[in-house]
Amino acid sequence: MGLIPRIRLAAVSVMLSASCDADTGEVRAAPRWYLVGPEGARTTGPDVRRLRPGFGVAIREELMLGAQRMGRTRQGQLLPMRDLLPARPSAFRGSELVDGRLDFAWLGPDDAYLWPRPEARGAAAALRRRHERVQMRERVAATGWIAVEGGWMESSALRVPTLAPRPNQAAPAAPWIDVDLTSQTLVAYLGDRPVFATLVSGGAGKPGSVFETPRGVHRIQLKLRAATMDNLEHSDVIPYSYDVPFVQYIGRYALHGVFWHDRFGAAASHGCINVSLQDAEWLFAFTRPALPIGQDEIRATPGSASVLRVR
């Protein structure tokens, strides 16, 4: 997301898969992700909220209230389930790097053709689906083409992660993250060794706008297992409100998971760095400071936070 005037911290732990707390033995249920339907929705209870169509919520449990099926939100409010539409989070996930090699690419958010030669003529060899991973080959091609396993693809269709030097702010063996907005990719490192790569959606705003992802070397300042992000204090913008999982703030913007779009590989956010739910959980566990068991947030102290570079 981005342009976040208000943050409501998670009242309860939100996990993407059921897990057991090692200290208490409590089983934490996975939330189910929903979008508010076209008629909107209204919470019950003392804190009544009117949710507009398209707002996103995490439902922790369902229960019957009289003859009506209700869903309990992450904040403990109740919503009629008939007013909600199940979200379909992206199934995309990045790749852990066993040997540290970045000799592959992903298709962007659209399907693209594989060609037998570096020219879009005649019959295509195959159709590759969006977000599919392809193995690159070391062959010289005409400008605008990349050799991949089985043929050639136009470079504009592919998102290629690349190695980058470690910034001085990152310690030699520390976990840190590099985000390349040109390719809309992310590579996670332990010191100088790349260990994970994936697709992102950065800010879709023009340079200098509030919807642009800020470039530079940042440190993770605050980690939240979940938060509500909205812009409801502004009257001159299109309103939004989402329950957001695995949030890592770098100032007013954050790296976090999304369940309401599948446009990874293209700029699509209000300035934040969007990743899939699976990738958000992996990166949340990877960076420092680590979230203690039983806690839902942690603020970094000087020197304890992982570096997140955006270029």
Q: What is the 3-state secondary structure (H, E, C) of the chain?
A: CCCCCEEEECCCCCCCCCEECCCCCCEECCCEEEEECCCCEECECCCCCEECCCCEEEEEEEEEECCEEEEEECCCCEEEHHHEEECCCCCCCCEECCCCCCCEEEECCCCEEEECCCCCCCCCCEEECCCCEEEECCCCCCCCEEEECCEEEEHHHEECCCCCCCCCCCCCCCEEEEEECCCCEEEEEECCEEEEEEECECECCCCCCCCCCCCEEEECCEEEEEEEEECCCCCCCCCCEEEEEEEEEECCEEEEECCCCCCCCCCCECCCEEECHHHHHHHHHHCCCCCCCCCCEEECCCCCCCEEEEC
Report the pLDDT averaged over residues 180-208.
Answer: 97
Rounded CA-CA distance 308/305 in Å is 9
Q: What is the mean pLDDT of residues 136-162?
A: 94
Question: 310 falls in which pLDDT band (50, 70, 90)?
Answer: very high
Res 142: pLDDT? 83
pLDDT tens-place string over residues 79-104: 999 999 999 999 999 999 999 999 99
- What is the homologous superfamily of the domain 175-310 according to CATH? L,D-transpeptidase catalytic domain-like (2.40.440.10)
The predicted structure's pLDDT at residue 251: 95
Q: What pLDDT was estimated at residue 18?
A: 45
pLDDT at position 7 over 70 = no
Tell me the whole-structure pTM to 2 decimals: 0.88
Q: What is the mean pLDDT of residues 136-165?
A: 95
Mean per-residue pLDDT of the chain: 90
CB of 306 within 8 A of CB of 288? yes
- 42-54 residue pLDDT tens: 998 767 889 999 9
Closest to 41 (Cα-Cα) out of 5, 8, 73 = 73
Q: Which of the four pLDDT bands, split at 50, 70 and 90, describes residue 1?
A: low
Q: Which residue, chain included where needed, has tokens 């840190």?
A: 176
Residue ranges of domains in the chain: 6-86, 111-158, 175-310
- Quick one: which of 210, 211, 272 has its CA closest to 244? 272
Task: Work out whether strand 273-275 and strand 253-257 pair parallel, antiparallel, or are unpaired.
Answer: parallel
Question: Would you state the pLDDT for residue 232?
Answer: 77
Q: What is the pLDDT of residues 210-242, one digit of tens each?
A: 999 999 999 999 999 999 998 877 666 688 899
Mean pLDDT, rounded, for 11-35: 51
Mean pLDDT of 111-139: 96
Q: How much is the pLDDT for 303? A: 84
